[in-house]
Amino acid sequence: MAFSTNFKVLGTMTTTLLLLTAVKASIAIPSTGTTSLREEAHKKNITIGSGAINPTYLEDPVFAAVLAEQFNSLHPENEMKWSFINPSPGHYNWDPIDRLVDFANEHDMLVKGHGLISSCCNPDFVVNITNPEALRAAMTTHFEAIMHRYEGRIDRWDVVTEALKTMGGGLNANDFSRQLGSGYINEAFRIARAASPRAKLYINENQVEVLPGKRQELQDLVSGLVADGVPIDGVALQMHITEVAPVPGVITDMVRFYKALGLQVEIAEMDVHTLNKTLETQIYGAVIKEALEAGITDISFWGFTDKHAYTWVPGAKPLMFDENYKPKGAFYATHSALEDFVDEC
């Protein structure tokens, strides 16, 4: 009896496996004709990721297949920003991030946290706090809830995103600086470190690769944090590039500067916004090559398919795969940079 029941279970499992294999085989993924980015990255101990992963995109089997095939890390788009994940006191939308974390686990990928303090998206209950102590308490509750839930499954976090004004010229005024002054950055890192002692903690910033004044401001800000003993592990360069490539050497200089402070630099959200496809390909290749040679070991893009691109340049298609998941020049330039890279350390 027991034997026949087990036999039935085995039979059902075999059928399920056969069905899964059939479904997989029926997904038409355009071939790149190469190894995957993740295979090349793995050979050199590089983390190669895609951010801007809205968990609903995973319902598209081709999206899910290309993501898992090409990348060994992922992070969310907006789903971890405060108003998305915690719209009212005590209420957390865990499902979207759980979905990402489960997917990553199934496909042996890392997950990065993005949006603990972001430049947008704070719920009314946070915006309406008028007392610094209450805001500190809200930050602590929020960080602990999220970081504890994903302890051991999310290995690194953007703790503060876009602290500086977009074009430089001082700190962004936000819901946190209004109550806590510029010290909110310091406090956010301390709260994050207490909540997750082993995770890597990053400050995430845009445009510093193209704006020398802003680059200096970030260096001053981060040097100050380090001098104050703030628990920060690194700087996440967004690297959203519009038309103009960073001047050669700038990424290398930044890595050198932060390394001297004991910090890592990562590329966190790269994409290239231009209508010129040749330029797009060149920029992808040049940035990834320089980043790898400078010692950057963690590179993520802000998505990978133009089907789900976030762009401010009308008509631009900023990512490595087109809307139908066909690899573009940008993919091959990135792949070659990874393949050609020789780690001399």
Among 40, 77, 209, 269, the active-site one is: 269
40 or 123: CB nearest ligand XIL: 123
Under DSSP, is residue 236 helix (H, G, I), strand (E, B) or coil? strand
162 or 187: CB nearest ligand XIL: 162
143 or 332: CB nearest ligand XIL: 143
68-87: contacts with ligand XIL (CB under 6 A): 77-78
Q: How far is the CB of 76 from ligand XIL (least distance, A)?
A: 9
Q: How far is the CB of 336 from ligand XIL (least distance, A)?
A: 27
Contact 64, 41 (CB under 8 A): no
Element (H, E) at 157: strand 156-161
**Interface residue with ligand XIL, options 47, 122, 161, 305 (CB under 6 A):** 161
Check binding of 50 to ligand XIL (CB under 6 A): no
Rounded CA-CA distance 50/242 in Å is: 19
* Chain residue at closest Cβ approach to ligand XIL: 310
Contacts of 185 (CB under 8 A, 6+ apart): 160, 163, 203, 221, 225, 230
- What is the CA 76 to chain-centroid distance, rounded? 7
Q: Residue 49 — φ and ψ, nearest 5°?
A: -130, 170
210-269: contacts with ligand XIL (CB under 6 A): 238, 269
Contact 34, 66 (CB under 8 A): no
86 or 118: CB nearest ligand XIL: 118
Q: Give me the residue label for tokens 């940035």.
A: 287
> Considering Cα of 7, then 9, then 12, then 13, what sign does the dihedral take?
negative
Which among 240, 138, 210, 237 is positioned nearest to 179, based on CA atoms? Answer: 138
Q: How many chain residues are in contact with ligand XIL, going by CB under 6 A?
A: 9
205 belongs to the catalytic site: no
162 belongs to the catalytic site: yes
Interface pattern 292-331 for ligand XIL (x via CB under 6 A): ------------------x---------------------
Strand partners, 138: none
38 or 114: CB nearest ligand XIL: 114
What residues line the site for ligand XIL (CB under 6 A)? Answer: 52, 77-78, 118, 161, 204, 238, 269, 310
Q: Any idea which residues carry the catalytic annotation?
A: 162, 269
